[in-house]
Amino acid sequence: MKLNKLICLVAYLLPLLTIAQEKKPNIVWIFSDDHSYQTIGAYGGRLQSLNPTPNIDKLAAQGMRFDKAYVENSICAPSRATLLTGKMSHLHKKLDNTKKTVFDHDQQQFQKILRTNGYQTAMIGKIHLPGKMQGFDYWEVLPGQGKYYNPDFITEEGDTNYKGEYVTDVITERALNWLENERDQDKPFMMMVHHKAPHRNWDPAERYMNKYEDIEIPEPDNFFDDYATRTTAAHKQEMDIATSMKIDSDLKAEGERYANDPRYKERYAKFAQDNLKGKELVKWKYQTYMKDYLRCIWSVDESVGQIMKSLKEQGLDENTIVIYSSDQGFYMGEHGWFDKRFMYEESFRTPLIVKWPGKVKAGSVNTDLVQNIDFAETFLDLADAPIPDDMQGKSVVPLLEGKAPKDWRKSMYYHYYEYPGAHAVRKHEGVANKRYKLIRFYGEDVPNGEEWEFYDLEKDPSEMDNIYNSSAAAKQVLEMKKELGKLRVQYAVNE
Ligand code: SGN
Ligand code: CA
């Protein structure tokens, strides 16, 4: 080809290439720790009238709400390792939150692949995976659980302390700073804004302390559950509001440090005066827990609003996919509990909302079975980057486009490992489809080494009636046992 022809061709192709490049969408993934779907207005339910999440609701109104999004191990560090690797806990090896299992940062993670495929990557907030982050152009993370007030952050360069500041605000401010001032404006980006809130001990920002003060929060119907049909695990857990929730550190109404704390001293004094007992005390604990939890959510929701506003102001809103999700669900008094870990719906499920202008139908709802193993592949798919064969999820892009494939998964595998450990939830694995759930508790402190539960979610959505031994359920139990075996093989479960 003659030189002048070649120059003409290059001159013609270059702008096209630039356009193609520009079209790659940005991804902003806002995440929180222990945010229950029950406390997101868009998900409806008994707490909706409290209007706890106006900005997240707006995101849902502009995007897609996933009603059947689940995790594979309902606990923080394993869930995050799954999100980064697209693999189940037994393969990424971070089985629990303890030091006994270690996350090897050298392993394959979606952000490394995004980065080698032209994306800029940033991670700000809680990650709960000790060690140096890899695959991020910018990262600033909390050490371990982090602190609500005066938080420390770790970066590539060292530690920073944010004295006098509130963690949710710092994470938002650092994210906005990267988004507005630090990133390379010529590259598509993936920004992870991962909040600590509303994790225990539910310590809100000062400006939200009085929210819900004179409001009675509705209790769930099964608040006073006696676990009559359930196996040992439900009876022996240590996550019930009545006895495991602490009046000092959790509810800040006892203990010297709260007696003089301007935010809590009134509560402290009233609690001492009221001298509550029995059911009255348990009900007060629930009210106090829920209010502090919801107050923490207000800051997270505010963060969502601020990020959406910044995207709009920068003209990025049309080409940016915004995702809101959490590391697992949480009990808001259902079964009398707080915390997570169990394969029962409230902690097995997790919120997931995706806004993708021009692609996702505004206000749509998806009810396909989606799991946290799907995130990594979805991000790679959105970025048009290669998806490694050893990732175990499926991209949800077809679901976002309203074209669920016929062979989409019909059942999900679950496995929880942290026992003995905090909250004393026995080890268990299980399988669930849209209607049935089979759970096998096993190992230490499980009578005879194994106990089973089986639920018909259509007839018993609150999982109050374990029908594992009912003859009417025998056929379905057998089918689900076969399914469990099949999934163990499919996912190469070796534990
Ligand atoms: C802490 C909490 C637990 C919580 C774990 C794991 N106790 O240990 O209630 O289950 O974190 O949470 S606390 O009194 O120290 O707050 S996770 O989200 O990191 O998995
Ligand atoms: Ca968590």
Give yes or no for residue 210 having a pLDDT over 80: yes
Element (H, E) at 86: none
Whether residue 19 is predicted with pLDDT greater than 90 in this model: the reply is no
Which of 200, 244, 246 should be mutated for ligand 1, with most atoms under 8 A from CB? 200
Whole-number average pLDDT of the chain: 96
Tens of pLDDT, residue by residue over 445-461, are: 999 999 999 999 999 99
CA 337, CA 114: separation in Å to the nearest integer?
A: 39
Structure tokens that stand for 399 in this block:
């679901």
- Quote the pLDDT of residue 417: 98
Rounded distance from Cα 76 to ligand 2 centre (Å): 4
Atom in ligand 1 nearest the alpha carbon of residue 128:
19
What per-residue confidence (pLDDT) applies to 260?
94
Residues with CB under 6 A from ligand 1: 33-34, 75-76, 97, 128, 145, 199-201, 339, 422-423
Q: Locate the ligand 1 atom nearest the alpha carbon of residue 97 and give its number.
A: 20
Beta bridge partners of 192: 29, 123
Which of 83, 167, 195, 199 is the best mutation target for the ligand 1 pocket, counting ligand atoms within 8 Å of the beta carbon and taking the most?
A: 199
The reported pLDDT for the residue numbered 11 is: 57
Domain boundaries, the chain: 29-204+286-410
**Which atom of ligand 1 has the smallest separation from the CA of 33?**
18
Do residues 382 and 357 touch, judged by C-beta distance below 8 A? no
Model confidence pLDDT, tens digit, residues 463-473: 999 999 999 99
For 98-109, the pLDDT digits (tens) are: 999 999 999 999
Tokens at 409, concatenated: 């998964």
| For range 243-250, the mean pLDDT | 98
The residue-averaged pLDDT of 167-196 equals 98
For residue 8, pLDDT beyond 60 = no
CA pseudo-torsion sign 328, 334, 335, 339: positive
Kindly report the CATH number that applies to the domain delimited by 29-204+286-410: 3.40.720.10
Closest CA to 305 of 50, 127, 57, 125: 57
- pLDDT the model gives residue 13: 58
Render pLDDT for 71-98 as a digit per residue (tens, 0 to 9). Answer: 999 999 999 999 999 999 999 999 999 9
Ligand nearest to the CA of 34: 2
pLDDT at 330: 98
Q: Report how far ligand 2's centroid is from the alpha carbon of 435 (Å).
A: 26
Neighbours of 160 (CB within 10 A): 14
Query: Which numbered atom of ligand 1 lies nearest the CA of 76?
Result: 20
Confidence of residue 495 (pLDDT cuts 50, 70, 90): confident
Share of the chain above pLDDT 90, in %: 95
- Closest residue to atom 20 of ligand 1, CA basis: 76
- Closest atom of ligand 1 to CA, residue 339: 10
Mean pLDDT for 239-267 is 97
For the chain, the helix, strand and coil percentages under 3-state DSSP, each to the nearest 5? 35, 15, 45
